[in-house]
Amino acid sequence: MKKVILVLILFVGIVMVGSLLARLPVGDRIAVIKVEGVIVDPEPVIRKIEKAREDSSVKALVLRVDSPGGSVGASQEIYRALERFKESKKPVVVSMGNVAASGGYYISVPADYIYANPGTITGSIGVIIQHIDYKELLNRIGVSTTAIKTGKFKDTLSPFRKLTEEEKEYLESTIQDAYQQFISAILKYRSGKISEEKLKSIADGRIMTGLMAQKVGLVDGIGNIEDAIDMAKKLSRAEKARVFYMEDRKGFLRRFLGANLPHLDLSQYGTMVYYLMK
């Protein structure tokens, strides 16, 4: 029994030392950053990207994307952080997981090379604003609301009344502007792989598999995260670089229990425009 315990302690010690050595800024390294879930708070990801940009031992970045998208602003902030990283002359390679759709695809676009699995769900290029109308339900239970506002559009998307035709036109113009930003963001880095005409023909919210996305020029290759790491080494000419994952620091108890973040309820963020797969 004592031997088993000693072996376990030795094994854990080796793993911990290996993990610690991988994190030391010594020699050439490839950083791996994960983006998982709905993209609403971009700051933790941006901090990691900036840290990797400033670290001279980091020769390339692999962005592991497993996200259905999120808010427009948050997606654009990560996109811009990747542009800043590339300005340091370091390559970026994206590895798509189960889903990299809408905003998840948006943040992948600046990469020098994009990998998807054959069955990755991607695409869903488009913009969405949703409105829920509780007016009839509230009327049935005898509840009415009053809004005192400074302008006719101040309570647009209020759940307590229907949208006016003028408001619908106003919202349509808003999402069309965000949509055009999405198209421009893609063409900035992929115009040599997909034409604007072709892009707009498929940028209607449809989802597609990784294989389908490769055929139309939205991704570059079919492969997993190990393929992405190999490509990052190749592009950075650092074939012997060590790989390390830039993950959020967790206390021992949280790591031991494997606790995850609570489920994200988008309703807590109020009115937003989304690059989000629905």
- Asked if residue 184 has pLDDT above 60, the reply is yes
**What is the chain's length?**
278
Three-class SS of residue 158?
A: coil
- Across the chain, mean pLDDT equals 88
Contact indicator for 100, 120 with CB cutoff of 8 Å: yes
Output 196 or 147, whichever has higher pLDDT.
Answer: 196
- Asked if residues 196 and 187 have their Cβ atoms less than 8 Å apart, the reply is yes
The two beta strands, 242-245 and 221-222, are unpaired
CA dihedral sign, ordered 121, 122, 123, 129: positive
Beta bridge partners of 96: 65
- Domain over 27-250+266-276 is classified CATH 3.90.226.10: yes
Amino acid, res. 16: M
104: which 2 tokens?
Answer: 């998840």
pLDDT tens per residue, range 70-88: 999 999 999 999 999 999 9
pLDDT digits (tens, 9 = 90+) for 84-126: 999 999 999 999 999 999 999 999 999 999 999 999 999 999 9
Q: Model confidence at 135, in pLDDT bands (50, 70, 90)?
A: confident
The ranges assigned to domains in the chain are 27-250+266-276
Chain segment 13-29, per-residue pLDDT in tens: 554 544 555 556 668 99
pLDDT value at position 45? 98
Using DSSP, state whether 242 is helix, strand or coil.
strand
Q: What is the mean pLDDT of residues 252-263?
A: 49
The residues that are catalytic are 102, 154
pLDDT tier at 261 (50, 70, 90 boundaries)? very low
